[in-house]
Amino acid sequence: MTDRDAYVQGLRDLADWVEAHPAAPVPPNDHLLVPLHTNAAVHEVAHELGVEEEYDNEDFVEHCARSDERRAHEWADKNGMSLRPAKELPEGGEAS
């Protein structure tokens, strides 16, 4: 069984358990968090499911890149360093 197959089976098992336990609490809304990391992926899945898209206007990948850069600058500042753009390497890729 692949990891994906196991995940799908886990969702089925969870649905069966929730159905068999009517007193079990469930989320107060119909939101389901799915790991789609770009707005294009959200659009594609929403279109296939026939549901309305609901996401912020930022791709997750772009969000992570900005967050990583911010944290790197914070770490450098905390450690008495600074980050600056690297100079482009000359032809052949060797630093002088």
Which whole number is the average pLDDT over 1-17? 92
> How large is the greatest C-alpha to C-alpha distance in the chain, in angstroms?
70
Read off the pLDDT of residues 38-63 as tens digits, 9 standing for 90 and up. Answer: 778 888 888 988 888 876 666 777 88
CB 26 within 8 A of CB 18: yes
**Which residues, 6 or more positions from 60, have their beta carbon under 8 angstroms from its beta carbon?**
36, 37, 38
Distance CA 28, CA 22 (A): 14
The answer on pLDDT for 34 being more than 60 is yes
The pTM of this model reads: 0.43
CB 1 within 8 A of CB 9: yes
The answer on pLDDT for 95 being more than 60 is no
Domain boundaries, the chain: 3-78
- pLDDT for the residue 90: 65
CB 60 within 8 A of CB 37: yes
Read off the pLDDT of residues 13-28 as tens digits, 9 standing for 90 and up. Answer: 999 999 999 999 888 8
